[in-house]
Amino acid sequence: MSVRVAVVGLGWAGRELWLSLLREHPDFEVVAVVDADPAARAAFDGGPGVAVHASVAELAAAAVDLAVVAVPNHLHASVAAALLTKRIPVFMEKPVCLSTAEADLLDAAERGGAVLLAGSAARHRGDIAALGGLIPDLGGVRHVCLGWVRSRGVPRAGWFTQRDKAGGGVLFDLGWHLFDALASLLGPVPFAQVVGSTTDDFVNLGGWGAAWRQDRPAGDTADVEDTARGFLVREDGVSVSLLTSWASHEPLDLSLVRVEGSTGVAELRCTFGFSPNRAEPVLTLMREGATTRVDLPAEPIGAEYRRQLDGLTALLADPGNRGKAIAEARTNVATIESFYASARASARPASPAYQ
């Protein structure tokens, strides 16, 4: 029997990503969509049998088995909490929350209602799984390099570059994926030390937008970072360097996960996400000066999103998943809060390169 799904939010992610994937998947049936924008509702053509609502208050637990939430970041916690309280399970796009206070709100709602599951694309990639298979052979893990640098990819949706609606910039966007990938590889261990810096050289310039997204251009000046650089140390002693940017002078979009161990180093170079400016995926294993290339599975762009749906019904049925998504989100958001606090403490004037 198919899982009856309501898609909440008809922006790019809800409309172009989740609706399409859910309709193609045999485990799911889209029975409703929700969006507060009358224009978005009017433009939606879901065919017969798909109810169109202005608010999640109009959804009933008897008619919906799951809500896929893809609303702007600042609405994630309140919308998800309302659904959980109505005993409608939630699958939430990242970031799950924007503060530790919002994590507390979701925790209370889940304890008294349905389960919350988190969308986390990077950990479902075939190349990340292949990298994870090499880690047991690296000895003690000492350091991890995390990177996701776009050539040109500043989001053009107005809310995405407004701090009060997005929570922050590239750190909440691409950085959240990198933290999730790290947790999937080494376990969700909190950070004991966080030092970071942020810059905004590209975010307010024309010509640096994400060409593969058809968002409305931002109408206001962005007040978030487009680049974040950090050095962090986990409570288990593993150090982590992080570099993530929406735009750069690189010719291609590159994602990097490099795991350095006492007996070897495993490095994955690829491109996360949907950008057409892609680097060839390469996984290598290095020991004592010798480098071996490891075969990677051939996958179409976006396979990690389809793979999330493949396992979603099993996650819904497992009571042991209650609380897991919020616990990991709490670690992520606490890390980001500490990162921004460090960046504010060491803030310096913006570079004049493009002024």
- Is 155 in the same domain as 223? yes
User: Which band of pLDDT confidence, cut at 50, 70 and 90, is reported for residue 354?
Assistant: very low
Write down the pLDDT at residue 285. 98
Cβ atoms of residues 142 and 262 within 8 Å? yes
- Is 191 in the same domain as 339? yes
- For 294, other C-beta atoms within 10 Å of its C-beta total 16
- Is 173 in the same domain as 299? yes
**End of a domain among 63, 87, 119?**
119
Whether 327 is covered by a domain: the verdict is: no
- Is 36 in the same domain as 112? yes
Give the residue numbers spanning the domain of 194: 122-306+335-345
HSE (side-chain half, CA atoms, 13 Å) at 116: 36
> Which tokens go with 174?
């691409």
Whether 316 is covered by a domain: the verdict is: no
Cβ atoms of residues 68 and 22 within 8 Å? yes
Is 27 buried (19+), middle (13-18) or exposed (0-12) by CB count in 10 A?
middle
pLDDT at 238 over 80: yes
Write down the pLDDT at residue 353. 47
φ, ψ of residue 89 in degrees (nearest 5): -60, 150
HSE (side-chain half, CA atoms, 13 Å) at 271: 20
Whether 329 is covered by a domain: the verdict is: no
Total domain count, the chain: 2
User: Which band of pLDDT confidence, cut at 50, 70 and 90, is reported for residue 215?
Assistant: low
Looking at every residue in the chain, the average pLDDT score rounds to 92
**End of a domain among 79, 94, 119?**
119
Distance (Å, whole) CA 65 – CA 5: 6
pLDDT at 97 over 90: yes
Whether 352 is covered by a domain: the verdict is: no
- Is 20 in the same domain as 114? yes
Whether 265 is covered by a domain: the verdict is: yes
- Is 109 in the same domain as 30? yes
- Measured at the CA of 323, the angle between CA 322 and CA 326, to 5 degrees, comes to 135
- In this prediction, residues 310-338 reach a mean pLDDT of 95
Which residues neighbour 353 within 8 Å (Cβ) at sequence distance 6 or greater? 201
Place of tokens 């990991």: 328
Write down the pLDDT at residue 93. 86
The residues that bridge with 257 in the sheet, in sequence order, are: 146, 268
- Is 143 in the same domain as 272? yes
CATH of the domain at 53: 3.40.50.720
146: left (phi over 0), alpha (psi -120 to 50) or beta: beta
Is 158 buried (19+), middle (13-18) or exposed (0-12) by CB count in 10 A?
middle
Which residues neighbour 333 within 8 Å (Cβ) at sequence distance 6 or greater? 95, 96, 97, 98, 99, 100, 102, 103
- Is 59 in the same domain as 182? no
- Is 127 in the same domain as 30? no
Write down the pLDDT at residue 206. 82
- Is 148 in the same domain as 271? yes
CATH of the domain at 167: 3.30.360.10
**End of a domain among 99, 119, 139?**
119
- Is 157 in the same domain as 54? no
- Is 107 in the same domain as 164? no
